Chain A
């Protein structure tokens, strides 16, 4: 490396003297005023050159396909031995879309990294000296994140659905076709939920700033609470199971309603409301705080 630096150094000196003094103060071509569109473009370049984005885009559909195949065939095989009551609540949609539980962490983490990587690497300084309009910066990050997370979320759900239903059908259990009403709601709604999970991560990351703390919080909020809700005392446990945003939002992938819980639409609404509040807080904090 040292010898490379040495060679470049000599070239660099000559280049700077020659090239810069040849064109003293000519302005670069292009519009003089920076617009929100420019900021969006900048954030798009950043998110597509983050390694995590590639991992999420390639990894999560493969993961969901695998999980749906396993869940579908095992649940399908169990179906014949189930009681009549269990058969009545057998939910082929939810079985095939269960992979969202982990994909929400992946997308939440991607959303978090969009901002925590800037604090971690201190690139927040060049970012804000390029675009000091902070609302514009965070809004651009949110838009490009949704631009990645929504298609990935829909793709992941679609892949899970198709593979899962094929596995159920192969095992001779009830299964759905894309033309069934609940199917498209589950797939697109699931995609929307996953995009919201990404924004949830972005809001948390903006407020927390540390990648590690954001990951920990995401796991806690999205998985641990869900796992421990039944262990919470009576009223609190019921409330959490019904209204805790990630649990409520997760109802969007169910085709068979549990009367104790929110409907898919209302549940997704609770999640969206929660993300809205967190994003609002993130905007306030990001705008006010020293970078």
Chain B
């Protein structure tokens, strides 16, 4: 469990993180979203004791990260997949990290197998592809089998297969009862992975909600209706909050369920060729939610 209270980081005039309070609970994947800006990474760095907060506290399992007797057994972190000396082998990179916490060599081999790098472990990390480096970074996070995992933009630059792998890894870790915090600037990456969402913009908390509530609150459902008799159909749908034509034979209806539309059409003898519910994308909802907090809009002056 990670608890952040009133966490603030100021760089001169700029508040990168502004009075953040939230919790990351065990058994869940918590998505940490920010459309742009440095607040996410700075927050994660403060949780891990890399940067000192200007004010506020962050604790992991009830105490500051740096106070843990064996930190790798408390929190596993992947902040920067490129963070490996290119002339060192993956094995020695992990061996040194493990040694610092008294984690045995056998666990290093085991972790390398878990992430699928066992055959290339004796190769210099400089020869690794981005996907392989990402796996190495994940291996470092898993070394101590920690109850809390922190991943900063873990899907960045990965191929589709790597994305599926990391997603299922995070889901499995949460299913085992671990607390998983994963940052991203893309809502689409969260949709399939996160149970809980923390959204910040310009370093301020904008939303702290379950994924389910977020979807219900922010994604309006629409129904797509295709019929050769759109004129007749329009007259039947007076209860709908919105009806617009998408094509000559297609209407998009909001505020009415498929069952009701189908019933009205059947009662009036209107022929239907298609009747399907559609969701407004969460990406759209996320952009609407954070648009005030986005520092740089496309096609505008960069003033606030």
- Chain A residues proximal to chain B, CB less than 8 Å: 1-2, 4-6, 8-13, 15-17, 19-21, 24-35, 38-39, 41-43, 45-46, 49-51, 117, 121-133, 290-291
Contact = CB atoms under 8 A, between A and B. Distances in A.
A12 B73 contact: no
B95 interface: yes
Given A16-B169, A28-B144, A28-B145, A123 B73 contact: no
B50 interface: yes
Given A9-B162, A16-B116, 14 more contacts: A1-B129, A2-B129, A5-B132, A8-B132, A12-B116, A19-B114, A21-B172, A30-B104, A41-B100, A50-B88, A125-B79, A129-B50, A132-B71, A290-B52
B168 A13 contact: yes
Nearest to B92: A49
A198 to B, nearest CB: 19
Interface stretch (B32-40, B62-70, B221-229, B257-265): B62-70
Interface of B: 45, 48-52, 65-66, 68-73, 75, 77, 79-80, 82-89, 92-93, 95-97, 99-104, 106-107, 110, 113-117, 119-120, 127, 129, 131-132, 135, 140, 143-145, 147, 159, 161-162, 164-165, 168-169, 172-173, 175-177
A27 B73 CA distance: 8
Given A19-B113, A125-B80, A126-B97, A5 B165 contact: no
Contacts of A46: 88, 92, 96
A16 B115 contact: yes
Given A19-B113, A24-B177, A38-B102, A32 B85 contact: no
Given A30-B104, A33-B69, A34-B100, A8 B95 contact: no
A129 to B, nearest CB: 5
Nearest to A140: B100
Contacts of B169: 16
B11 to A, nearest CB: 10
A128 B49 contact: yes
Contact of A123 (B83, B99, B120): B83
Nearest to A290: B51
Contact of A41 (B99, B131, B165): B99
A12 B164 CA distance: 11
Contacts of A15: 113-116
A41 B144 CA distance: 17
Nearest to B150: A129
A121 B83 contact: yes
B103 A16 contact: no
A39 B129 contact: no
A129 B51 CA distance: 11
B71 A129 contact: yes
A51 B110 CA distance: 26
Contacts of B173: 20
Contacts of B106: 29
Which of A21, A35, A122, A125 has the most C-beta atoms of chain B within 10 angstroms of its own C-beta?
A125
A271 to B, nearest CB: 30
* Nearest 10 A/B pairs, CB to CB: A12-B116, A42-B100, A132-B66, A122-B83, A8-B116, A290-B51, A45-B96, A33-B69, A42-B99, A291-B50
B49 A29 contact: no
Contact of A5 (B51, B107, B129, B144): B129
B176 A21 contact: yes
Contacts of A8: 116-117, 119-120, 132, 135
A12 B165 contact: yes
A1 B126 CA distance: 13
19 contacts: A1-B129, A9-B165, A10-B161, A12-B116, A19-B114, A20-B114, A20-B176, A21-B172, A27-B73, A31-B102, A32-B70, A38-B100, A39-B100, A117-B85, A129-B48, A129-B65, A129-B72, A131-B71, A291-B45
A115 B298 CA distance: 41
B114 A49 contact: no
Contacts of B93: 123
Given A8-B116, A12-B115, A290-B50, A27 B84 contact: no
B38 to A, nearest CB: 12
